[in-house]
Amino acid sequence: MALFHHFQFYMDIRSLIHHQPVLSNSAAKSVNKDAAESVTMREKKGKKAYRKRVIKAYTDHVDEDKLNSLKKKIYLTSQLEMKKYYKIDNKGQQLYKETWFDKKKNVAIVHYGKVGYRGKTEEIPLDEVKTNNDFLANFCKDCKADGYYEIPQDKHAWVVVQFPLKSELGNKRDLWLKDKVQEYLKNHLGWNGLGDVDGFDMGQKKLNIFCQVVDDERAVSSIKTCLKEYHLDLNQARIATKKIGEKEYTLKFSHKKIDNFEL
């Protein structure tokens, strides 16, 4: 069957079926039985025979209209990656413009504004693959024509938000704080056009959360606002920055005076 030519792209198709069924209701029992037998085959005869049996199990019972719809949806959501552009306007202000795909609404989101501030958003419906491709190509073309440019990751500055831990690897609340600070900072930095959270490390009684940003001074101010607004231990936080080309972090904020900042 031609639809399964790129079968590896859909495998394991059972996980996709869990989210959006592509089988008729009457086929469910038969497929479940075939799938169970396929697992046994994998154990006895290896992956090749297993894959062949799984393909047969689903191609025998698949509702092709539903599969075509699923194929189209997967293609659309996988093709439109997030694109970010920046520029300096004639007033010396740094502006941003970005787009990404909202899978639930099946629309492209365009978000634009001044770096450090929450911008405006527009939603553009995308129903066809061609529409998707044309939109992204035109978005990039228009941004470049308007003087916008991409900033590579290695041209971003670093900001680290550090919290002292109550034990070597942290207690239950420290782990909660790790997840919540990353969640809220990712959202806050993104919607203000500043950057993104890049990860964390924990150890030696410290939690470090790393961010890559396009403006470290605005990012520090924005991070302080975020921690205060969502009650995420601003009074315990230490915020330090490392500009492009620098080797060490420089402390920019600490509610409590410290003599030496170290990761």
Cross-sheet strand order for the sheet of 250-254: 195-203, 206-213, 157-164, 238-242, 250-254
- In this structure, the dihedral spanned by the alpha carbons of residues 131, 134, 137 and 142, taken in order and rounded to 10 degrees, is -100
Task: Write out pLDDT tens, residues 201-254.
Answer: 998 899 999 999 999 999 999 999 999 999 999 999 999 999 988 999 999 999
Q: Is 80-145 a domain of CATH 2.20.140?
A: yes
pLDDT band at 123 (very low <50, low <70, confident <90, very high): very high
- Span 29-37, average pLDDT: 52
CATH number for the segment(s) 154-254: 3.30.70.1510
What percent of the chain has pLDDT above 70? 67
Mean pLDDT value of segment 113-133: 82
Residue 214: which of 140, 148, 136 has the closest Cα? 148
Average pLDDT, the chain: 79
Cα dihedral 82, 106, 117, 120 sign: positive
Q: What is the mean pLDDT of residues 53-64?
A: 58
Give the integer Cα–Cα distance in Å for 130 and 140.
16
pLDDT of 28 strictly over 70: no
Q: How far, in Å, CA of 178 to CA of 171, rounded?
A: 11
Task: Give me the mean pLDDT over the 148-163 stretch.
Answer: 95
Residue 95, pLDDT above cutoff 80? yes
Average pLDDT over residues 129-139: 74
Report the C-alpha gap between 182 and 21 in whole angstroms.
34
Query: Where does the pLDDT of residue 11 fall: very low under 50, low under 70, confident under 90, or very high at 90 and above?
Result: very low
pLDDT at residue 125, rounded to an integer: 85
Q: Where are the domains of the chain?
A: 2-78, 80-145, 154-254
